[in-house]
Amino acid sequence: MTTISEPELLATLKTTFGFDHFRAGQLEIVETLLDGHDALVVMPTGAGKSLSYQLPAILSANKTVIVSPLVALMDDQVAALRQNGIEASKIHSHQSYEENADNWLQFANHGAKLMYMSPERLMQPRMLEALKHQSVGMFVVDEAHCISKWGAAFRPEYEALSQLKTLFPQAQMAAFTATADDATRRDIAAKLSDQNCKVFLRGFDRPNLSLAVLPKEKLKDNLLALLDTKRGQSGIVYCLSRKDVDDIAATLNGAGFQALAYHAGKDSDYRRTAQNRFMTEDGLIMVATIAFGMGIDKQDIRFVIHASLPSSMEAFYQEIGRAGRDGQPAETILFYGTQDFIKRQNMIFDGEGDQDFKLREFKRLEALIGYCEATTCRRMSILTYFDEASAPCGNCDNCLDPPTVEDYSVQAQQILQAVHQTGQFFGQAHILDVLNGAQTAKIRQRNHHDLACFGALADSPRAEVKALLRQLIATGALRVNLERYGALEITQSGAQIGQGEAAFMAKKPRAAKTTAPRKAAKTRQPVDRADEALFQDLKALRLALAQEKNIPAYAVFHDAALRDFAALKPQTREQFKQVNGVGPKKLDLYFETFAAAIKQHIG
């Protein structure tokens, strides 16, 4: 058992990180690691994984090496630790030889107990040799799913980490990830641990995030209308390609929004500046590919919009997980259309990896399609996927405005007939044209106007037929054959519907909406108007301090702490210390500056 009691751990939490209580799951993980067990922790982004290993690392007599895949992430973590008076070292490729050498010396001479490193650095023979003389008690592997080929983002440089358990048999292993299904979890545990590894799997629900899916039609118009309801808020718009990012960012800027474009094609200076601006300024919209987001610790992101379909359920959940980390309501909206599904499907099957891998990736994508097409609570569809029990949430579009499910067997039969009569040879656009009775060159060329199905659904709006077609694909009645350029093919279940042996129940298509239904605004923290002004002043002060020190703003204080300052207006050191987020180090660093600002405000 841990020799450190819970009250003692709480006291240390306050004196090191300034926090008053643990978040769900943290205490159990801290205790498990202090007991010397291996652990695999799967918790969503923003749940507070870092602290769960940092605290045991600080309390341990031995040293801890933390493997992290991203330079920016290491920099931010170390900056945040130092703000709390905790020394930590980091070695990575963006630092000079001298800086890396200094960091090593600090670690070797017991100036720092924590060392952040990339997997490549760690696994260099010289580094491994040097670490053997450093009484390393624990290895922490962040983004641990990267070690597994079963996982959502395998990285070859992670593979070598599986040697650690043999190279350092006395050290304990702690693996952290926000995303790992059952197979991936078992794989991570087997690769990193050979003792019994305790698995923590929890807290996937993020009730403050609202969930909605909108049809991807007239994307730019709908996006602008949607964003118009969110002026002044910070948010992310995710796009599939760099070109889309540049294009949408330009559109938003043209419409008077403040948008930044972010993707891997921009140089690193630009990216760093854009990221810093997003972290520190209010009301910016980051239009980005998935290159943006890892390690972003901005608490007050109020919305995450997907302008196109993410690659999998895992990716989607990780991306929306960046919203609302402060626990306040935040919106997530996904624009979904079949074209994107086909594009994603193409990317998987044209991509790298063996057939098995591709099929698994496709399953992850299908799970997301299930989410998009869900007619019942969307949160339940996510949580079920992550093995967590749940009930209807009341904070998703389907809960707030339940879709009507109706019998569309007749229309489905017409659609399937059209696919059948044209020889299962054409993609959805042509099938829609045929059903619509359109006069296109392709139709004339193939004499498709002579078919019985020609014009069969001419009375229904095209968007409605398209929605039904999409649902036929999503439910597996029709298959998109990528080898045949997206030709639609009828599956066995489709044939049953086509022959009237099975009914086709589907969501009643509705006129495209630009906004998702919303829950009545939840009560925010009670900050009155006067306090709001103080809150803004304190934010500006925080920004100035962060810029001066070249650290992220949240490393000075989180928004939640600033809100408390604005509400409580602490003027003595004792009062200041009461606020969640103020530890002794930050008290010393910031009391005078912030107290002066508060005093000035009170006048």
* Residue 215 contact partner, candidates ligand ADP, Zn ion, none, CB within 5 to 8 A by sort of partner: none
Residue type, 52: S
| CB of 376 vs Zn ion, minimal distance in Å | 8
Alpha helices, DSSP H only, in 204-304? 219-228, 242-254, 268-280
First to last CA, the chain: 53
Q: Which is nearer to ligand ADP, 295 or 486 (CB)?
A: 295
Give CA–CA dist 269/26, Å, rounded: 36
| CB of 432 vs ligand ADP, minimal distance in Å | 43
Tell me the two tokens of residue 584: 């002794």
Give CA–CA dist 488/499, Å, rounded: 17
- 50 and 77 Cβ atoms separated by less than 8 Å: yes
Q: Per rule CB under 5 A, is residue 209 in the interface with Zn ion?
A: no
* Residue 345 contact partner, candidates ligand ADP, Zn ion, none, CB within 5 to 8 A by sort of partner: none
Among positions 362-381, residues that touch Zn ion (CB under 5 A) are 377, 379
Q: Which is nearer to Zn ion, 455 or 517 (CB)?
A: 517
Give CA–CA dist 536/538, Å, rounded: 5
Give CA–CA dist 70/68, Å, rounded: 6
* Residue 379 contact partner, candidates ligand ADP, Zn ion, none, CB within 5 to 8 A by sort of partner: Zn ion
Q: Which is nearer to ligand ADP, 168 or 176 (CB)?
A: 176
Give CA–CA dist 369/373, Å, rounded: 6
Tell me the two tokens of residue 491: 């599956």
Q: Which is nearer to ligand ADP, 43 or 579 (CB)?
A: 43
Which residues contact residue 40 at a Cβ distance below 8 angstroms, ignoring those fewer than 6 apart?
144, 174, 175, 177, 180, 185, 188, 189, 192, 193, 197, 198, 199, 200
| CB of 392 vs Zn ion, minimal distance in Å | 5
Task: List the one residue from 396, 419, 431, 506 that touches Zn ion (CB under 5 A).
Answer: 396
Report helix, strand or coil for 275.
helix
Select the span of 255-263, 363-371, 385-393, 570-578 touching Zn ion (CB under 5 A). Answer: 385-393
| CB of 555 vs ligand ADP, minimal distance in Å | 9
* Residue 43 contact partner, candidates Zn ion, ligand ADP, none, CB within 5 to 8 A by sort of partner: ligand ADP
What is the CA angle 45-75-305, rounded to 5? 35
Which residues contact residue 450 at a Cβ distance below 8 angstroms, ignoring those fewer than 6 apart?
none
Binding site for ligand ADP (CB under 6 A): 19, 22-23, 26, 43, 45-51, 297, 325, 554, 558
| CB of 599 vs Zn ion, minimal distance in Å | 46
Find the Cα–Cα–Cα–Cα dihedral 531, 532, 537, 542, rounded to 10°.
100
* Residue 297 contact partner, candidates Zn ion, ligand ADP, none, CB within 5 to 8 A by sort of partner: ligand ADP
Q: Which is nearer to ligand ADP, 23 or 549 (CB)?
A: 23
| CB of 22 vs ligand ADP, minimal distance in Å | 5
| CB of 25 vs ligand ADP, minimal distance in Å | 10
Q: Which is nearer to Zn ion, 309 or 399 (CB)?
A: 399
Q: Which is nearer to Zn ion, 206 or 539 (CB)?
A: 206
Which residues contact residue 54 at a Cβ distance below 8 angstroms, ignoring those fewer than 6 apart?
81, 86, 114
* Residue 116 contact partner, candidates ligand ADP, Zn ion, none, CB within 5 to 8 A by sort of partner: none
| CB of 510 vs Zn ion, minimal distance in Å | 18
Give CA–CA dist 450/568, Å, rounded: 77
* Residue 153 contact partner, candidates ligand ADP, Zn ion, none, CB within 5 to 8 A by sort of partner: none
Beta strand 285-288 pairing with 234-238: parallel
Q: Per rule CB under 5 A, is residue 399 in the interface with Zn ion?
A: yes
| CB of 172 vs ligand ADP, minimal distance in Å | 19
| CB of 336 vs Zn ion, minimal distance in Å | 17
Q: Per rule CB under 5 A, is residue 239 in the interface with Zn ion?
A: no
Q: Which is nearer to Zn ion, 260 or 396 (CB)?
A: 396
Give CA–CA dist 127/545, Å, rounded: 36
Q: Which is nearer to ligand ADP, 45 or 289 (CB)?
A: 45
Where along the sequence are the contacts to Zn ion (CB under 5 A)? 377, 379, 393, 396, 399
